[in-house]
Chains A and B, each alone.
Chain A
Amino acid sequence: MSGNLLHNLILFGRLLRGLGLDVNPGRMIDLVHALGHIEIGRKPDFYHAARSLLVHRHEDEPLFDQAFEMFWRKPSEGGVTLEMGGLQARPRFRRPLVTPPPLRPSDAKPPEDAEGQSPADQPPILQVTVTYSDREVLRHKDFAEMSGEELDAVKRLMAALVWQLGERRTRRRKPGKGRLLDLRRTVRKSLRYGGEVLEWARREPKYKPRPLVIVADISGSMERYTRLLLHFIYSLTAGLDQPVEAFVFSTRLTRITRQLHGREVEAALREVGQAVSDWSGGTRIGEALKAFNFDWGRRVLGHGAVVLFISDGWDRGDVDLLRREMARLQRTCHRLIWLNPLLGSPEYEPLTRGMQAALPYIDDFLPVHNLASLEDLARRLTDLDERRGIRARRFVMTSEVKNYARRSI
Chain B
Amino acid sequence: MNLNSIDDLQAALREQLYIADRGLATAIYLALRLNRPLFLEGEAGVGKTEVAKVIARLLDTDLIRLQCYEGLDVHHAVYEWNYTRQMMHIRVHEARGEHASEAELFGPDFLLRRPLLQAIENTREKAPVLLVDEVDRSDEEFEAFLLEVLSDFQITIPEIGTIKAERPPVAVITSNRTREVHDALKRRCLYYWIDYPGFDKEFEIVRAKVPQAPAQLARQITGFIQELRRADLYKVPGVAETLDWTAALVALDQQALEPGVVEETLGVILKYQDDVEKVRGENLRAILDRVKVTV
Contacts and interface: CB of A to CB of B under 8 A. Distances in A.
B145 to A, nearest CB: 12
A194 B30 CA distance: 54
A299 B70 CA distance: 15
A397 interface: no
| Majority secondary structure of chain A interface residues (helix, strand, loop or mixed) | helix
Contact of B71 (A24, A39, A170, A328): A170
6 contacts: A56-B191, A170-B71, A184-B75, A186-B83, A187-B105, A298-B177
Interface stretch (B34-42, B49-57, B117-125, B283-291): B34-42
Contacts, number: 110
A183 interface: yes
A293 interface: yes
Interface stretch (B161-169, B180-188, B244-252, B260-268): B180-188
Nearest to B69: A171
Interface residues of B, number: 47
Interface in B194-244: 234
Interface of A: 22, 24, 26-27, 30, 33-34, 37-39, 44-45, 48-49, 51-53, 55-58, 61, 170-173, 183-184, 186-187, 190-191, 194-195, 243, 293-294, 298-300, 302-303, 324, 328
Nearest to A46: B26
Nearest to A183: B83
A44 B190 CA distance: 17
Given A44-B22, A45-B26, A49-B30, A170 B36 contact: no
A137 B252 CA distance: 74
Contact of A184 (B71, B80, B234): B80
B177 A299 contact: yes
B280 interface: no
Given A38-B30, A51-B23, 6 more contacts: A58-B193, A172-B141, A187-B105, A195-B94, A324-B274, A328-B234
B187 A27 contact: yes
B35 to A, nearest CB: 10
A316 B189 CA distance: 46
Interface string B64-78: 000001110101000
Interface in B135-177: 136, 139, 141, 177
Nearest to A243: B180
A61 B27 CA distance: 15
A302 B178 contact: yes
A203 to B, nearest CB: 10
Given A56-B39, A173-B73, A194 B179 contact: no
A204 to B, nearest CB: 13
A187 B94 contact: no
Given A52-B23, A171-B71, A299-B178, A45 B190 contact: no
Given A37-B33, A171-B70, A56 B186 contact: yes
Contacts of A48: 22-23, 26-27
Contacts of A183: 81, 83
Given A170-B139, A294-B234, A52 B71 contact: no
B87 A187 contact: yes
Contacts of B126: none
B18 interface: no
B14 interface: no
Given A52-B192, A187-B83, A195-B100, A172 B26 contact: no
Nearest to A184: B81
Contacts of A298: 177-178
A300 to B, nearest CB: 8
B102 A24 contact: no
Interface string B3-20: 001100000000000000
B99 interface: yes
A51 B186 CA distance: 13
Contacts of A33: 34
